[in-house]
Structure 1
Amino acid sequence: MTPLDFEDPAVRRLRADLALALRAAAHHGLAEGVCNHFSAELPDGSGRFLLNPRGLMWSEVQAGDVVMVDAQGQRLAGRHEVEPTAMFIHAAIHRLCRKACVLHTHMPHATALTLTTERALDTTLSQNAMRFHGRTAVDAHYSGLALDAREGERIAAAMGHADVGFLGNHGVVVCGARIDHAYDDLYYLERACQAQVLAQASGRPLAPVDAALARRVCEQTLGERLQSELFFEALRRTLQDEPHEHAG
């Protein structure tokens, strides 16, 4: 397959979708300063991927701010710099886990669960949690900031084929084949974690369902993703890309 150019229409659409997902995450309270990253692999088999730049709030990211990096995380196109930990975490997950879209956040309720001894969401509790049944992995071994390739590769190995990785004492990673599907999962993951944190805070006993039912709800959710796509299009209408002097 011929490698796609940064200004190819397909890449421009991907840049716009990635920027929209970032603005949506800021709108939904999932961002943390100018930290954390969303990335999307180019659909040309080149191993290159798009990434939000260093130093911008997610609420201000437009399509023209998105940068392109290679499989080693080196910047190839775009006017902004890239934050080092993004290179190591995202490059490793794209390369080793074969994930097209990788969303990494420190969103509050999901991160709160990584601080517990269980480290993760109980996927037999809320309906929102059940959509993740059998789709999560836990990396319980926090080793500090991901400032070298080995740390990113360790995280990727812990995730394996999972769509969601709970990183102990750190945050979460949500992956998908498409940006709209991955963002929908990210949003509902935080909602599920929020419900669990609130339920646990009540001090009352929790009431999980059996694993077979949780598995069926997950299959029902993944069997029809139109709702995910409609959600993302609704976000596109309500969080429109604003005119930007360096838009791509």
Structure 2
Amino acid sequence: MIDLYYWTTPNGHKITLFLEETGLPYTIVPINIGKGDQFQPDFLKVSPNNRIPAMVDRAPADGGEPLSLFESGAILLYLAEKTGQFMPSTLRGRSDVLQWLFWQMGGLGPMAGQNHHFNTYAQEKIPYAIDRYVRETGRLYGVLNKQLADREFIAHDYSIADMACYPWIVPHERQDQNLNDFPHLKRWFDAIAARPATRRAYEKAEQINTQPSVNDEASRKLLFGQDASTIK
């Protein structure tokens, strides 16, 4: 039913978390971003931004032609609406989930991503950039820690907001963050890590990719050397 165009990044993990939780049948189409699969014409038809994840639903609710989607937040929202799961039905509950989903998409993901880039991947170590993004990542951890002080999950019940945020906390050590500094966040993180669906999702990731995506100069250029000329 679902074709998931996927690689083993935090954004990719978001969707396998959802699919494993709900049991929706899906097939993974690996897109090795370190080898340039994201520039293949068939993939670009689904994801014009040449980024994973992307998805094709071959049985959309309207009964029409297969429906394709890119952007992990849009995919999570679509799947929640399709299944009626992990999204509250009330106005206030839905609003709570959506604001934290967008918080992840606009804040936690981009800032932690820059943290990864300047801390791990950049060949030139720029102290200002490293400090800037490590500190901002820590601030965002603090925001999430405060939100979790009086609730089990981000919007009370486990939802797509948690699925969006969790994969970006998994590499906390690489982000120079200590979860012990954020006790509510750590409790939440451990609870999600223990979920059977989370374990299955990350086990699949290990089967698909055992090597880092950036492991030579060619992959570095593919991932970090793009500009307007790469959009054809």
More helix by share: 2
Relative contact order, CA 8 A, sep 6+: which one is greater? 2
The TM-score with structure 2 as length reference comes to: 0.32
The TM-score with structure 1 as length reference comes to: 0.30
